[in-house]
Chain A
Amino acid sequence: MDLALEILPQVLVDGLVLGFMYALIALGYTMVYGVLEFINFAHSEIFVLGAFVGVEILLMLQSAGLLAAVHPAAVLLLIILAAMVISGLAAMALERVAYRPLHGSPRLVALISAIGASFLLQDGLRLFESLWRNTFYLNYPTLELLDRTMPLAANVVVPVKSILVVVTALVMLWGLNLFVNHTRIGAAIRAVAQDPDTASLMGVPVNRVIATTFFVGGAMGGLAGVLFGLHYSLVNPYSGFFPGLKAFTAAVLGGIGNIPGAMLGGMVLGMLEALAASYLSLATDGAFGAEYKDVFAFAVLILILIFRPKGLLGEKVREDRA
């Protein structure tokens, strides 16, 4: 029991980091679902793209000898912004090429196209990195600042990179909240999510709003990608699969289509996963360990869908399209 208490602060920090990561990715799923009623299956690749943009810029700076010269905060700001912009643009391009031509066809058709896009992007990234760097397993260069630790309480030490994830995510979520609830384009997004036909009659340019939604969702995914890379160091073109699936679970958990729900769902799932990873083997005397943490997330998904399909915060389901 002592051991359980001893590791608790670390587990909570891990859970918080995972939770914000899932929350950021889940936003992409939930926003697109809100306006299009469609699971953007390739969102996990948009997330990975963000991680790759980050590592590419860092590696380029490193080979130019600039990594040590420039202030780390400036470097972080640069890679975060670059990843957000590129991932956002990629998500928009994806919508234009793989989804918009299918507008009006059955939902299954668009979903299959999205799965195809996901696979295509994975191997496209692999091909590009193989040709460019000769390997597609990339390691983030170490930023000394991130590896420092900060004392938080009496005997709790938190690495700076965890704080970076939490703070950046908080700032972005606050910004997103402002954007969606207090700007004209945010109002347009909410209008399309409520009823695209009526919104269009009211003069809302629906296609442009959809593109914007993809950009914003993609940017959040890209940000999550960079933070993922900075935190866990190793990325490859296929590393988006599990975070993507879990973030989708988080979106469903919170109530898909619901922005605060995605944040809550991400947080709950991250915490559950961190707790399961640490305590499962303690509780079962080592019979079942951290290798079941993925199973755990899916079990949660299946349970929610059975008992509360609308999620924790419940979506305002439109009768006509439900």
Chain B
Amino acid sequence: MTRSLAPIGLLGYIFGSFLLAILYPQSVLAFLLFEASLLLLYYIPAHAKVKSTLAALVLIVLMPLLGTINGYYLEVAIQIGIYAALALGLNIVVGFVGLLNLGFVAFYAIGAYLWAIFGSPQANEFIAGGVFPLAPYWFFIFLLLSIGVGALTGLVLGLPVLRLRGDYLAVVTLGFAEVVRALVNNLDKPVNLTNGPRGISPIVKPPLFFRPVLEFFGLEITDAKLYPLYFYFLVLLVVCVIILVTRRLESSRIGRAWKAIREDEIAAAAMGVPVVRMKLLGFAVGASFASAVGVLFAAKQVFINPESFTFMESIGVLAMVILGGMGSIPGAILGATGVTILNLQLLKGLSLWLNGLRQSGAVLTLPLLGSYSLSQIPVQFEPAKYERMVFGLILILMMIFRPQGILPPKQERKR
């Protein structure tokens, strides 16, 4: 009985929140309610086919519709998708294999610069012939290429350091990320490879190969409107592929070997698990995901510079994985959604709200404490600038009170 009622109720909820988000385009809350439908979808008792149909309805039909009405929502959704893909990659390294990688952003940067250098006039600086930027269709080739390059860098870094104990590894990966950042920052001389702190632009976007199809159906959409939708679907596709690959890996021999290593390395080795090889594999898979997402990011941003690849980004992605639950696929996605919305919407919203309060000049009268003019709220108190504090609090509080995360992996929950 409940199995058939729940999806219908959820359908109502989805359309209700969808309407709300359309009616109140400025409201963060309405968008959050809409986003929450996916979380509810995860929890309700229903057949897998029903669930996936509903998820497809939300992600493939309603979200783009909402996005065409309000472009900002689509931007947020793309960001969430990019971070979700990164979090899923880090989840393999931290969650499955149990290796703390604090330099995950380095692989992301490598992917982004890979496409940025060859997908812009930048490569003409060191390769003669003036053939750059490459034609748009090369984007897809580089997307595939970046998987290999990411995996290779992962292996090259992993080989020497994976024999180390976990906490050493954390610091070495952090150092590696700083090295990569210093390199992209300074390799504008002697040969101008990366254009240094000025960054690279314009980066070529992927080709609109489906334009003829749209025209056949008589749809005339301007590039400015089409690209966000295009990127949304590209990111969605990449996230889906990553989820699929991760799920297959998780339930394979490899996934079980990873978890065995995480739980007890010595026991795993005694059972015949090739520990170093498996660790390397996990490291490389995570790195290749990050690097592919980097290519996507570069194409979406059109402009990239070293500022996008700081230690903060690594910690942000780590906070997502920790918040959602290490080793849990839905957890990583939930964490990415939560942290991105917190950063993009809630903190900024809070800053705007405080600003409004200041300008309103209202006076707050508290019993015993006397009155306090709201215009006296110090201007330095601006939540949007304190994302480090937020990440720090997430990490400490989660570790002390709920180290398994909000959505721990299912097997662990049964125990």
A binding-site residues for B, Cβ under 8 Å: 38-39, 98, 101-102, 105, 107-113, 115-124, 126-127, 130-131, 134, 241, 245, 248-249, 252, 287-288, 291-292, 294-295, 297-299, 301-302, 305-306, 309, 322
Contact = CB atoms under 8 A, between A and B. Distances in A.
A301 B175 contact: yes
A321 to B, nearest CB: 10
A291 B179 CA distance: 11
15 contacts: A38-B167, A113-B396, A113-B399, A115-B395, A116-B393, A127-B381, A130-B381, A245-B174, A288-B190, A291-B182, A294-B182, A295-B178, A305-B164, A305-B172, A306-B161
Contacts of B164: 305, 309
A252 B98 CA distance: 22
Contacts of B94: 108
A117 B168 CA distance: 19
Residue from B94, B185, B399 with most neighbouring chain A CB atoms (10 Å) = B399
B100 interface: yes
B375 interface: no
Given A127-B381, A298-B175, A109 B399 contact: yes
A187 to B, nearest CB: 27
B242 interface: no
B183 A295 contact: yes
Contacts of B171: 39, 245, 248, 252, 301
Interface stretch (B24-32, B70-78, B276-284, B384-392): B384-392
Contacts of B391: 116, 119
Interface string B323-347: 0000000000000000000000000
A297 B186 CA distance: 16
A301 B177 CA distance: 13
A112 B167 contact: no
A248 B163 CA distance: 19
A131 B167 contact: no
Interface string B386-410: 1011011111110110010000000
Contacts of A127: 380-381, 386, 389
A113 B100 contact: no
Interface in B124-174: 160-161, 163-168, 170-172, 174
A245 B98 contact: no
Given A115-B395, A118-B392, A124-B389, A287 B168 contact: no
B218 interface: no
B329 to A, nearest CB: 19
What does DSSP make chain A's interface, helix, strand, loop or mixed?
A: helix
Question: Which 5 A-B pairs give the minimum distances between C-beta atoms?
Answer: A116-B395, A120-B392, A119-B392, A130-B380, A123-B389
B189 interface: yes
B14 interface: no
Given A38-B167, A108-B100, A131-B380, A116 B396 contact: yes
A219 B170 CA distance: 25
A305 B160 contact: yes
Nearest to B159: A306
Query: Which has the most chain A C-beta neighbours within 10 Å: B164, B172, B388?
Result: B388
B102 interface: yes
Interface in B268-298: none
B183 A39 contact: no
A185 B160 CA distance: 39
A112 B322 contact: yes
Nearest to A322: B165
A291 B403 contact: no
A2 to B, nearest CB: 25
A86 B237 CA distance: 53
A116 B318 CA distance: 10
B181 to A, nearest CB: 10
Interface string B178-219: 110011011001100000000000000000000000000000
